[in-house]
Structure 1
Amino acid sequence: MKNTYKSKKIIALAIAGLLFTASSCDQEKTLNPAPITAISGVNAFDTPARILGLVNGIYKAVKSSNFYGGNYYIYQEARGEEFINRTSNTFTAFEAWNQTLNSGSNFVAGFWEAGYRTINNANILIKGLNENPKIVGETLNKQYIAEAKFLRALSYYALVTFYARPYNENKGTSPGLPLRLQAEVDNANNDLKRSSVAEVYAQIIKDLNEAEADLPLSYSSALLNTTRAHRNTAIALKTRVYLNSGNYEKVIEEAKKIVSTAAPFAATTGVNHKLQNIIEIFTTNYTSTESILSVPQTDLDNVTGQPSFPYVFNANSEYNLNPTGIWGDTEWKSTDLRRTFARTASGVQFITKYNKPSPFLDYLPIIRYSEVLLNYAEAAARTNDLTKSVELLKAVRNRSDVNYVFPVAATSSQTSLVNTILNERRIELIGEGFRSNDLVRNLLPFPAKASSTLTAPEVKPSQDNYVLPLPNIEIVTNKLLLK
């Protein structure tokens, strides 16, 4: 990342930008703030309001169209096998779909920049709060630093799973990412070698552990509980990170903190996370207790056009559901409510999980409680606790298809149960940016896919394009990147 932004410019943008979500202040004032003019790095930490602006600026960076506001979902889903491209549009992930992304591709550079911009915003806040610890008081100071560490961890997770070899290939000994943990306001420290994949994962877990200790148990509203990190948010993300690195015992340890011992499963401390009506959480109630962290969209600040997942995959009909992907699974019955997240046009189906019209004000989920249950189920299966694994798996399936019974052969052995859980992830989490990473973390090939006019080849784990290339702009500006 070439750090060409001066501190006062970064800080002014962070404060002046529309906030990621409403703060504990009056929502109307938050969504329609009075203009803030010149704020330099000298006085950015002078008042509680300015510091809160910087906190929200990190969430705003996460919400970038090149990051969790849009392209994260588009490119993760396009690389997998669940969708068929219809347009050959380079600007809406055709290169990802047909596995030809290269170091000069716009997304390869844009996603890297968005991730490291978020990380540097977090680093600036941490540094500023450590230097000005009395402005907001001890409790808020710790909370804001914890939020920054959580968002830094979330960003590094996104980057390392895109640009580095999978942890499970060799226990993380491959080159990972440059670990930038200091606030950068110029390009003086731009040259930085890559830490190993294992070192990046260790930093992610360190940040999440420290965040868990200082994040609040909950906020004052369902909106804030969905759009700001709290204690259970950090725990939930740890279950994902540990699953990705094959540390199944730690997945179980973390999951037990927020999953009750028996059905109906729910978090018993902090926010009372539990499964809710699957239709409502994507249409009318974005802030239910199933939603652990989501990217909100508002009339004043939303992602539209080519970086918008709802626009590309639904409204503009650029990707239809692959009839030979999970959509064609005969065990995904018509009685399952998740089957309703589709519309038919020209003889094919398009996903409607995000179905609001332009300007596409659907919330994009980053973490849902159903994922935590499936993470736990997979870890339990891989450690031979098949009984607990099946209980968790059934909770997710029967929430949407109450009378469904898994075939005995699907759950009777460790191998079959793990495969069944992976299939359930494909159904439950389709359109939420999981499939590509589920293939990579399990060292599975990207399957070939095709329409009547377009084809994409199989990509095996041994091939260079199994993960994204490093962007040219970083290779040119960071002289230690390839050493």
Structure 2
Amino acid sequence: MKVTLQNDLYKHSFKLLLLTILSLSSCSEKDYLHPDPTTYIPQEQTFDTPERVLALVNGLYRGMKDQQFYGGRYYIYAEVRGDEYINRTANLFTAFDSWNHTLNAGSNEVQNLWTAAYRTINLCNVFLQGLNDNANKVDPKIASQYAAEAKFVRAVAYFALVTLYARPYIENNGTSPGLPLRLQGETTSENNSLARSTVAEVYSQILKDLDEAEENLPLTYDTPLLNTTRAHRNTAIAFKTRVYLTMGNYSMVVQEAQKIVSSNAPYRAETGVANTLQTDATVPFLGNNYTTTESIFSMPMTDLDSSTGQSSITYNLNTAPAGNSEYNLNPDGIIGDMEWRENDQRRQFITTGTTKYLKKYNKPSPFLDYIPVIRYAEVLLNYAEAAAHTGDLNKARNLLSFVRNRADASYQFTANAVADETSLVNTILHERRIEFLGEGLRSNDLLRTLRTIPAKGSAPAVAPADEAYIFPLPNSELLTNKDL
């Protein structure tokens, strides 16, 4: 049993790479989104043509888009752990244990997300090893770009894991136990056992991958679709602002943000993809415009490749006809805030009626809404929060107001709300609850600031010292990894 669990993961990772070649053999947008199967390709020939190598790269993103990971459930767990939703069904298959803080090492959430994340990491590791072993078959410049994409995906996967399964970095500068840091491709169970690196060591690897990705990713692709669904230079920079903010390294957030945020409004990236906010806050979601320059990186969904049923964020958080009413919005949560005015465009993401649901994701089965991994609005609010912490209060106020006034043009924050560092940071955190409702950031915002997860409905509050503050390690890992 000990060998079988991990061996299945490793075999599945390698088979997934090979299967991806069969289904993604073209670099066109049509084939990227609607792949057609081809014939069997032997393992030793997987790097023989540019089309096959590109198919492997696309397979890394497909691994990340697993419905147990960034394709659905990662967002669901990160959302419902916070205080914005009320569970209606007590259904263990739709994240009730995450909402209720009753997870254990055998819970489906704990085991399936861990497995999907490490499978994605192993896909990246196997691919990087394959690039190295087949250096004579791939153009060096293309190989550098593809390696950068693999490192970006690996970094994003490790970030999801370390922020759920390990103690917050800010608690003790990352000296707590982190994760097994797997950096080589595995196709057997030989290296099952690996001790946990510290939280700081995991973050160091995440930043190393992102720095190297930034150096070798393209400035832009040929189409808006690829600029949204594959990593480019600004994608790596944007994600670094999230990582450094989570670490509490505010000066580095500012340094990274300044690379892709102009000095003055209207804020935009002046190099690479011209990332900026849309003038209408609803456009990236309700307007079917998933590939605007606001959407820095998203998970694309198609009728042939989407998250289904209970793994879909729409199914869980929306009501009929799009969703299944598993969770309604908490009336005592952010939607009850009187300062979030009714004329704010973001109120359009909330259903009408007595019981409110989130309709930011509004397409019914087969659930074809793209899922944003990171938007430009987050970069601006990351920058604002870091600017407040580092003493640039005017910059923080301006960035905060720019995000709010995009959705509510006449709104002015009260003097007390933005008077000093403490009030500004609290107001920015409050704004994040509005801006990123349904985007999986609330749980991490609570943990990275060592705040208690508030009670909601019948679910109790969870203090930072409580065992339920983070996910437990899964039984599947405890049984196969002797060094834990």
Which range, TM-score by smaller chain? Answer: over 0.9
Q: Tell me what 1:350 maps to.
A: 357
The Cα offsets for residues 357-404 of structure 1, whole Å up to 9 and x where unpaired, read as 221110000000000000000000011110000000011000000000
Q: Tell me what 1:194 maps to.
A: 196
Question: Counterpart amino acid of 2:351?
Answer: R
SS at structure 1 position matched to 2:463: coil
The answer to whether residue 302 in structure 2 is matched with residue 302 in structure 1 is: no
Q: 1:150 aligns with which of 129, 149, 152?
A: 152
The answer to whether residue 12 in structure 2 is matched with residue 9 in structure 1 is: no
The Cα offsets for residues 165-188 of structure 1, whole Å up to 9 and x where unpaired, read as 000110000000000000101100
1:391-402 residue pairs with structure 2 within 5 A? 391-402=398-409
Q: Tell me what 1:417 maps to.
A: 424
User: Offset of 1:34 from its aligned partner?
Assistant: 4.1
1:17-32 residue pairs with structure 2 within 5 A? 17=23, 25-32=27-34
Unmatched segments (≥5 aa) in structure 2: none
Do the aligned residues in 1 keep the contact of 2:124 with 2:150 (CA within 8 Å)?
yes
The Cα offsets for residues 238-291 of structure 1, whole Å up to 9 and x where unpaired, read as 000000000000000000000000011000000000000211110221100000
SS at structure 2 position matched to 1:306: helix
Question: Counterpart amino acid of 1:15?
Answer: I
Q: Tell me what 2:380 maps to.
A: 373
The Cα offsets for residues 447-473 of structure 1, whole Å up to 9 and x where unpaired, read as 1111xxxx0011100011100000001
The Cα offsets for residues 121-175 of structure 1, whole Å up to 9 and x where unpaired, read as 0011111111212323111110000000000000000000000000011000000
Q: Tell me what 2:471 maps to.
A: 468
1:194-233 residue pairs with structure 2 within 5 A? 194-233=196-235
User: Offset of 1:29 from its aligned partner?
Assistant: 3.7
User: Offset of 1:344 from its aligned partner?
Assistant: 3.0
1:333 and 1:8, CA in 2 relative to 1: closer, same or farther beyond 3 A? Answer: closer
Q: Using the alignment, how far apart are the partners of 1:379 and 1:35 within structure 2?
A: 47
Q: Using the alignment, how far apart are the partners of 1:93 and 1:32 within structure 2?
A: 30
The answer to whether residue 171 in structure 2 is matched with residue 169 in structure 1 is: yes
Q: Give identity over the alignment, percent.
A: 60
Do the aligned residues in 1 keep the contact of 2:246 with 2:448 (CA within 8 Å)?
yes
Q: Tell me what 2:86 maps to.
A: 84
1:32 and 1:365, CA in 2 relative to 1: closer, same or farther beyond 3 A? Answer: closer
User: Offset of 1:36 from its aligned partner?
Assistant: 3.1
Q: CA RMSD of the aligned region, Å?
A: 1.3
Q: 2:122 aligns with which of 120, 123, 142?
A: 120
The answer to whether residue 462 in structure 2 is matched with residue 459 in structure 1 is: yes
1:11-90 residue pairs with structure 2 within 5 A? 11-17=17-23, 25-90=27-92
Q: Using the alignment, how far apart are the partners of 1:335 and 1:114 within structure 2?
A: 41
Q: TM-score, normalised by structure 2?
A: 0.95
SS at structure 1 position matched to 2:311: coil
Q: Using the alignment, how far apart are the partners of 1:415 and 1:269 within structure 2?
A: 33
Q: Using the alignment, how far apart are the partners of 1:40 and 1:210 within structure 2?
A: 31
Q: Tell me what 2:283 maps to.
A: 280
Q: Using the alignment, how far apart are the partners of 1:197 and 1:40 within structure 2?
A: 39
Q: Using the alignment, how far apart are the partners of 2:240 and 2:28 within structure 1?
A: 32
User: Offset of 1:8 from its aligned partner?
Assistant: 5.3
User: Offset of 1:235 from its aligned partner?
Assistant: 0.2
User: Offset of 1:32 from its aligned partner?
Assistant: 4.3
Q: Using the alignment, how far apart are the partners of 2:145 and 2:61 within structure 1?
A: 14
Q: Using the alignment, how far apart are the partners of 1:8 and 1:387 within structure 2?
A: 51
Q: Tell me what 1:447 maps to.
A: 454
User: Offset of 1:18 from its aligned partner?
Assistant: 6.0
The answer to whether residue 348 in structure 2 is matched with residue 340 in structure 1 is: yes
Unmatched segments (≥5 aa) in structure 1: none
Q: Using the alignment, how far apart are the partners of 1:8 and 1:320 within structure 2?
A: 40
Q: Using the alignment, how far apart are the partners of 1:323 and 1:36 within structure 2?
A: 51
1:174-185 residue pairs with structure 2 within 5 A? 174-185=176-187
Q: Using the alignment, how far apart are the partners of 1:267 and 1:334 within structure 2?
A: 31
Q: Tell me what 2:133 maps to.
A: 131
Q: 1:316 aligns with which of 320, 324, 331?
A: 324
Do the aligned residues in 2 keep the contact of 1:378 with 1:421 (CA within 8 Å)?
yes
Q: Using the alignment, how far apart are the partners of 2:348 and 2:371 within structure 1?
A: 18
Question: Counterpart amino acid of 1:338?
Answer: R
Question: Counterpart amino acid of 2:338?
Answer: T
